[in-house]
A and B are shown apart, each in its own frame.
Chain A
Amino acid sequence: MDIAFTEEQEMLRKMSSDFLAAECPKTLVRELEEGEEGYSPEVWKKMAGLGWMGMVIPEEYDGMGMTFQDLTILLEQMGKNILPGPFLATVVEGAIPILEAGSDEQKKEFLPKIANGELIYTMAFLEPRAIYDASGIELKATKKGDDYVLKGTKVFVEMANVADYIICVARTKESSSPEDGITLFIVDSKAPGVRYEVMPTIGMDKLCEVQFDDVAVSKESMLGALDKGWPVVQNILRKGAIAKCAECIGGMQAAVDMTIAYSKERVQYDRPIGAFQALQHIMSDMWIALQTSKYLVYQAAWMESEGMPCEMEAAMAKAYVNETYKWVTEKAVSLHGAIGTSREHDIPLYYRRAKAADTAFGSTDFLREVVASKIGLIS
């Protein structure tokens, strides 16, 4: 047992923290929130130069061949700085499923370009009923000759507005078991019949509605086996949950740090408000929530990294962090007082993102149901 980052990992933390602090100031975050693209191509290019998009891609595909835990170190820093953009979508919802389920041709075609920062990926999973399990997948892929035709609507698709490719989770077969009959397709976002519209979400993070209106896809675009796509999706949901948790603990860290710093500056009744015990105890609780969240996430990320089964741990981590991030940011706003509610202040950026994060890759109640089964409650 050695529950600490390695020296190399500490260097990665430091380097990524410094890079993001310099390249992603809050002025840029606001600009990107208001802008159409929602990411900065310049910063994206620099990140590619550092090898970040290829971090978990093996060296044979021009990646760095590092671990999932290393990736979560980056994501934690991204959450801390609020880096808007398609990083998580491209890596976790694009590169990883291609790596896990793709054919040799697909890997050769796409992975080096993802690693180089040339391609942006995302995954279209949720549909208007917003159900996280397999029964939520109704978008039809109908066989037509050698190809397939996609028809249906996806929602909450991350950054589809700038994605080059969308991995669409589609139903290719009706079956008594909803997990059976799901197939993944790699869809060119410029293909005829693909239309997107940005949804005006609380995180201002370019979640999109994507219409697939009789979109023809070749059978070569199929990712993984016909009808057997659900386990791939499950892997992505699990990894995505852990990845999102890593972002969240970074955001919590920032909210805690900013609140403590503010409480040392802000003077009322002739003393810094941080000298009042009523506020000290709230800040201690915020810090405790951060500590408990951190190590839960680190453990889940480590298990995932080691290839250990961790469906329960990932669900526990996300179910827990969903709540702690919201609570910590709510307290952060409160302790800042009126200024904390201002559009101009940085704290609400975190408050809004905490809410945005809690439905990604599984809401609290959905994940608690996963946990309930895993701890042995019969269903």
Chain B
Amino acid sequence: MDFRLTDEQLARRKEFFEVCSELERQRPEGFCFSSIESRYDTDEGWAYHLRCAKEFASRGWLTLGWPSEHGGQGTIMDRVLLAEARGYYDVPGVDFMGLELLAPTLLAMASEEIKREFLPGIASGDTMWTQMWSEPNAGSDLASLNTSAMRNGDEYILNGQKIWITGAHRAHWAFALVRTDPNAQRKQDGLTMMLFDMKTPGITVNPLLFMDGGHFYTEVFLDDVHVPVRQIVGEENKGWAVTQVTSGFERSNLEAIMAMQRQLDDLVEYCNGTKVKGEPLAKNPLIRNRLAEMASELYAARTLAYRIADTQIKKEMAPFDASAVKVFSGELQTRLACVAADILGPYYQVGGSKWARFNGHYEKWYHQCFRLNISMGTNEIQRNIIAWYGLGLTRMK
């Protein structure tokens, strides 16, 4: 057993942290903890995201761990270490849908032609993607989706509604899961994954405002959208298998875990520097106990995340292994948010103003802290996965 990073990895990590620290300093006002919201919500946020992407691309950091024939350099471990740095400084620039979901899927499942056409745009940070999977009646039960894609010569013609689509109003391209065979016996059959340009006629994107007013979710209507047949990923009607591959990538969650580490570090500094009744908050035994509890849980999450990364690199990861870290670190975010709220007291509720603490980041964060528990397979679904595939319990019909 060895938890050590090599000298080379430590040097890489240091470089990642330095660059991300510098990028953090360039971030526009109002760009909050929740970089997912901030990057899609405002023009300034989006421009910052693109700028960071170009910076990473120029250093070859968007293709860490890719095969060399597609411009890859470094290792998967390097990608994990960069995720730590991005998380700690809350720096955008990595299109999690394009880079962390689609690219590895393409590398694993797509034809050479598709790889050659679409990977370069992802590697250069020029093409930003959105994932179009969920529908009003197909959330956790994704295979129930019914956006139709009818074959017509060399094209499919798409009709339907997609919902909870992140950043569709900003993205250049989409990868969608649609139904190509409405008569398939099992609902998982007859689905196909396909790629299309967001400028294609027939696409309407409407905002779905988050509870804090932020605009990152959208609903998307597809009305007679023409998609060339060659833009499918994998085989026609075999899209379900592709989604299983997509869901299997990038599961260590170290980005979110290191974002929490930063919050904890900031809270320690705040408690050391804030006096109540003449005494620093840091001396309050209750606060010490609760922050220590959070620090311990965070360390547990981080250690397990390294273990997940390690098994993933060795290609030994079981899907339910990653579910454990997803559930635990996601719910730790909400626990930490509550501890932070208690420490800041009434000021927690204040957004950007002279009364705000931490520029109002925490007010924003209270809205956002459980987002991870819902996205990428809700935590309830993750618990099912653990129960059925990890513990061998009877699967729900």
Beta-carbon nearest neighbor of A286 in chain B: B391
B392: which A residues are within 8 A, CB to CB? 260, 264
Chain B interface size, under 10 / 10 to 19 / 20 to 34 / 35 or more? 35 or more
Query: Does B94 make an interface contact (CB < 8 A)?
Result: no
Residue with the greatest number of chain B CB neighbours at <10 A, chosen from A283, A319, A376: A376
CB interface residues, B 280-310, toward A, < 8 Å:
280, 282-283, 285, 287-289, 291-293, 295-297, 299-301, 303-304, 306-307, 310
In the assembled complex, the Cα of A271 lies from the Cα of B380 at a distance in Å of 22
In the assembled complex, the Cα of A292 lies from the Cα of B300 at a distance in Å of 5
Interface of A is mostly: helix
In the assembled complex, the Cα of A320 lies from the Cα of B388 at a distance in Å of 27
Query: Does B183 make an interface contact (CB < 8 A)?
Result: no
A280: which B residues are within 8 A, CB to CB? 383-384, 387-388, 391, 393
Task: Establish whether residues A288 and B3, one from each chain, have CB atoms under 8 Å apart when the complex forms.
Answer: no
Say which residue of A3, A315, A368 sits within 8 Å of B307 (CB atoms): A3
In the assembled complex, the Cα of A5 lies from the Cα of B307 at a distance in Å of 12
In the assembled complex, the Cα of A198 lies from the Cα of B303 at a distance in Å of 39
**Minimum Cβ distance to chain A for residue B9 (Å):** 8
Task: Establish whether residues B1 and A3, one from each chain, have CB atoms under 8 Å apart when the complex forms.
Answer: yes
Number of interface residues of A (CB under 8 A): 50
Query: Does A378 make an interface contact (CB < 8 A)?
Result: yes
Say which residue of B3, B283, B328, B384 sits within 8 Å of A299 (CB atoms): B3
Task: Establish whether residues A291 and B324, one from each chain, have CB atoms under 8 Å apart when the complex forms.
Answer: yes
Task: Establish whether residues A375 and B292, one from each chain, have CB atoms under 8 Å apart when the complex forms.
Answer: yes
Say which residue of B77, B282, B310 sits within 8 Å of A377 (CB atoms): B282
User: With contacts A320-B297, A320-B300 known, is A368 near B387, CB below 8 A?
Assistant: no
Task: Establish whether residues B296 and A260, one from each chain, have CB atoms under 8 Å apart when the complex forms.
Answer: no
Query: Does B62 make an interface contact (CB < 8 A)?
Result: no
Beta-carbon nearest neighbor of B4 in chain A: A1
Task: Establish whether residues A287 and B386, one from each chain, have CB atoms under 8 Å apart when the complex forms.
Answer: yes
Task: Establish whether residues A272 and B2, one from each chain, have CB atoms under 8 Å apart when the complex forms.
Answer: no
In the assembled complex, the Cα of A192 lies from the Cα of B4 at a distance in Å of 51
User: With contacts A292-B304, A372-B288 known, is A5 near B1, CB below 8 A?
Assistant: yes
Say which residue of A281, A283, A293, A375 sits within 8 Å of B300 (CB atoms): A293
Task: Establish whether residues B296 and A1, one from each chain, have CB atoms under 8 Å apart when the complex forms.
Answer: no
Query: Does A15 make an interface contact (CB < 8 A)?
Result: no
B388: which A residues are within 8 A, CB to CB? 280
CB interface residues, A 285-337, toward B, < 8 Å:
285, 287-288, 291-293, 295-296, 298-299, 302-303, 313, 315-317, 319-320
Residues in chain B within 8 A of chain A (CB atoms) = 1-6, 9, 77, 264-265, 268-269, 271-272, 280, 282-283, 285, 287-289, 291-293, 295-297, 299-301, 303-304, 306-307, 310-311, 321, 324-325, 327-328, 380, 382-384, 386-388, 390-394, 396
Residues in chain A within 8 A of chain B (CB atoms) = 1-6, 9, 69, 260, 263-264, 271-272, 274-275, 277, 280-281, 283-285, 287-288, 291-293, 295-296, 298-299, 302-303, 313, 315-317, 319-320, 365, 367-372, 375-379
5 pairs of A and B residues whose beta carbons are closest in the complex: A368-B292, A280-B387, A372-B288, A371-B292, A275-B394
Other than the given A291-B321, A375-B264, 20 more pairs (CB < 8 A) read A1-B5, A3-B3, A277-B387, A280-B384, A281-B380, A281-B383, A281-B387, A283-B387, A283-B393, A287-B390, A288-B324, A292-B303, A292-B328, A295-B300, A296-B299, A298-B303, A316-B295, A320-B300, A375-B291, A376-B269
